């Protein structure tokens, strides 16, 4: 049997689910192979940020997902006695969504899997193990077979080769986790550090009618040198604790129900909660040596594994999916060159590495097991918080790596100066339509390329040839007026009509401030990629923007 797809995705975790939704919404035919016959059903990831929710917005699922999250939560580092060392809370929403959001992963995965039902060209096959693949210049052939959900690879005893089928796809994306079969069969190694510290994770659910976690409203890193702990609030009466093991404690000892009960009794009444999962684990800070082999790509934990200490493992995979989805769509739907995918790893790897480094740093802060070193840490943190500028930087969590591509390593025009906006993520404030309605900026931009004119209709600033070429690429045209800056008293020329154009007013002044910082003056144009990163800026006329866009989509520079 042979069936053609645009993309085959291996793995139905958060990365694979996000990628499948984004590809489905962009109209591609997708096959998702998931070896587990049934949904795993237990929490692993616990956090997403505003970048992640913005990607889910593009996937058409953010509002439903956010409704099941604990949003705008405070995060703090506390001593063993509960005294706060450092606390931060972010209530601003520069990307249109809360910055700090705690989730229950089964809720998220169930919602994203239900969302796939909207796309008739997306097929999900559970209980199917990928056995093998071969690629050529035109695509990839993938063999898969029935699987009962234990063991890995084509020699796994639970895979029945008699049920093997073959499909054909233009691209294959391995989203199959840290033990990725796709990565293993490609012979790609992971490089980095495996940490010896072991942690016991305990997932709890309060019994019906009991507010067992009301006194634990915030995310706490408990910096206790005798027993470092993580306490994480989750929606739906759920809560997670993580306890660091000492060298002489065994996995069997720590997973013993009596040990678990004794540990959680420090915080909750064990009789008021149900233990859903208890597991001792270690963690890795590793990155695959390469993320692409021709038409085969890696994403999520298959490409990189981030320690859990800043909750960015899942989110890094979600960002991978966002980056890959529009590039695959550009190739499959609009004839872009496969070389467009050369930009995937250079754009994503530095950000992933920065997240891993920050997570490892936070792990070192939290897991100090020496009273003397812990006292020095506490003194240093207290002193830093009192310093002008630095204290606010820490409380605002500004140490988090910004969504900004490394200079010269992205698909777009070169960055102008140190503070140039090219290769950075545009903000997403609420904007106001001409009839006074508020909406999110991305909902105006659409899910493809967009050209934004500041106080000018971009279709007027571009030539008819350029407008036609951009329309063939599915581009949206948007005019942003400053507050009070809409044209008044003169009838329009009817040009605003059309499904590919919108004009909005920046009533919060957030875009006006960003335009000023980015040196976008009235009459200027902004070309945005489908992932909301700035491709380029033009002060007057956008001919160079259009020429460079099509040149880079063709795998070259305009020169």
pLDDT of 559 > 70? The answer is no
Tell me the pLDDT tens digit for each residue of 414-447: 998 878 899 999 999 999 999 999 999 999 999 9
Show the tokens assigned to 374: 């812990």
Q: What is the DSSP string of 237-266?
A: TEEEEEEEPPTT--HHHHHSHHHHHHHHTT
CA angle 49/55/58 to nearest 5° reads: 145
Q: What is the pTM of this model?
A: 0.94
Q: Which domains does the chain have, with CATH numbers?
A: 4-70+97-190+287-358 (3.50.50.60), 430-553 (3.40.30.10)
57-84 pLDDT per residue, tens: 999 999 999 999 999 999 999 998 889 9
Q: For the chain, how long is the longest CA-to-CA vector?
A: 80
CB 70 within 8 A of CB 101: yes
pLDDT of 49 > 60? The answer is yes
What's the pLDDT score for residue 203?
A: 95
Residue 109's pLDDT is 95
pLDDT band at 153 (very low <50, low <70, confident <90, very high): very low
Summary mean pLDDT of the chain: 91
Q: CA of 417: how far to CAs of 154, 315, 402, 420, in Å?
A: 51, 29, 17, 5
CA 490 to chain centre: 45
> What confidence tier does 1 reach under pLDDT thresholds 50, 70, 90?
very low
Residue 380 has pLDDT above 90, yes or no: no
Is 364's pLDDT higher than 70? yes
**Can you tell me the distance from the alpha carbon of 507 to that of 512, in angstroms, rounded to the nearest whole number?**
9
Q: How confident is the model at residue 504 (pLDDT cuts 50, 70, 90)?
A: very high
Name the band, by pLDDT with cuts 50, 70 and 90, for residue 382.
Answer: confident
pLDDT-derived band at 374, boundaries 50, 70, 90: confident
The pLDDT value given to residue 149: 60
pLDDT in tens, 265-304: 999 999 999 999 999 988 889 999 999 999 999 999 999 9
Report the 10 Å Cβ neighbour count for 400.
Answer: 16
Q: What is the pLDDT, as a whole number, of residue 76?
A: 93
Binning pLDDT at 50, 70 and 90, where does residue 558 land? Answer: low
Give me the pLDDT at residue 145, please. Answer: 93
Q: Which residue has the higher pLDDT, 313 or 471?
A: 471
Cα–Cα distance list, 343 to 2, 9, 116, 523, 551 (Å): 31, 20, 27, 30, 14
Q: Is the pLDDT of residue 157 over 80?
A: no
Report whether pLDDT(467) > 90.
yes
* pLDDT at 392 (0 to 100): 76
461 vs 417, higher pLDDT: 461
Q: pLDDT category, 381, cuts 50, 70, 90? A: confident
List % helix, strand, coil for the chain (3-state, nearest 5). 30, 30, 40
**Of the ranges 330-344, 388-402, 452-466, which one carries the lowest mean pLDDT score?**
388-402
The lowest-confidence range among 199-208, 256-265, 299-308, 375-384 is: 375-384
Long-range contact list for 236-239, CB < 8 A, 24+ apart? 236/68, 236/104, 236/107, 236/205, 237/205, 237/206, 237/212, 237/213, 238/43, 238/104, 238/203, 238/204, 238/205, 238/206, 238/276, 239/203, 239/204, 239/205, 239/206, 239/212, 239/213, 239/268, 239/273
């Amino acid at each position: 049997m042979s069936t053609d797809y645009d993309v085959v995705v291996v793995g139905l975790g958060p990365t694979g689910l996000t990628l499948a939704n984004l590809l489905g919404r962009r109209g591609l035919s997708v096959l998702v192979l998931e070896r587990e016959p049934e949904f795993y059903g237990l929490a692993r990831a616990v956090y997403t940020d505003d970048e992640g929710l913005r990607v889910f917005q593009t996937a058409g699922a953010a509002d439903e997902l956010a409704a099941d999250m604990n949003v705008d939560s405070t995060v703090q580092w506390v001593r063993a006695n509960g005294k706060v060392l450092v606390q931060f809370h972010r209530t601003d929403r520069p990307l249109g969504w809360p910055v700090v959001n705690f989730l229950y992963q089964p809720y998220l995965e169930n919602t994203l899997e239900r969302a796939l039902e909207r796309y008739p060209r997306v097929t999900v096959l559970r209980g199917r193990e990928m056995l093998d693949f071969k690629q050529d210049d035109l695509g990839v052939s993938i063999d898969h077979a029935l699987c009962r959900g234990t063991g890995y690879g084509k020699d796994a005893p639970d895979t029945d080769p008699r049920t093997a089928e073959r499909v054909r796809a233009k691209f294959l994306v391995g989203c199959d986790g840290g033990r990725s079969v796709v990565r293993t069969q490609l012979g790609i190694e992971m490089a980095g550090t495996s940490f010896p510290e072991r942690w016991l994770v305990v997932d709890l659910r309060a019994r019906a009618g009991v507010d067992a976690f009301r006194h634990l409203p915030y995310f706490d890193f408990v910096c206790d040198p005798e027993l470092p702990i993580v306490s994480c609030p989750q929606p739906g009466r759920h809560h997670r604790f993580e306890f660091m093991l000492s060298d002489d404690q065994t996995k069997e000892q720590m997973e013993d129900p009596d040990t678990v009960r004794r540990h959680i009794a420090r915080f909750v009444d064990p009789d008021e909660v149900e233990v859903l999962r208890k597991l001792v684990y270690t963690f890795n800070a590793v990155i695959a040596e390469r993320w692409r082999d021709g038409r085969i790509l890696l994403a999520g934990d298959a490409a990189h594994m981030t320690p859990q200490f800043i909750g960015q493992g899942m989110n890094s995979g979600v960002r991978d999916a966002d980056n890959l989805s529009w590039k695959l769509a550009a190739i499959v739907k609009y004839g872009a060159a496969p070389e467009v995918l050369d930009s995937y790893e250079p754009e994503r790897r530095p950000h992933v590495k920065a997240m891993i480094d920050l997570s490892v740093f936070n792990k070192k802060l939290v897991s100090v097991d020496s009273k003397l070193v812990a006292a020095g840490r506490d003194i240093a943190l207290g002193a830093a918080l009192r310093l002008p500028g630095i204290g606010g930087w820490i409380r605002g969590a500004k140490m988090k790596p910004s969504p900004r591509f490394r200079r010269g390593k992205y698909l777009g025009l070169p960055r102008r100066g140190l503070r140039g906006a090219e290769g950075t993520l545009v903000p997403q404030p609420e904007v106001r339509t001409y009839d006074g309605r508020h909406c999110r900026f991305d909902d105006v931009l659409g899910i493809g390329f967009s050209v934004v004119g500041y106080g000018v209709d971009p279709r007027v600033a571009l030539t008819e040839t350029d407008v036609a070429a951009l329309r063939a690429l599915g581009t949206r045209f948007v005019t942003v007026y400053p507050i009070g800056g809409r044209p008044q008293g003169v009838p329009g020329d009817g040009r605003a009509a059309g499904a590919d154009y919108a004009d909005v007013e920046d009533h919060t002044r957030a875009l006006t401030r960003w335009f000023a910082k980015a040196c976008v003056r009235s009459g200027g144009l902004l070309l945005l990629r489908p992932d909301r990163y700035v491709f380029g800026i033009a002060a007057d006329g956008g001919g160079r923007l259009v020429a460079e866009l099509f040149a880079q989509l063709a795998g070259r520079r305009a020169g």
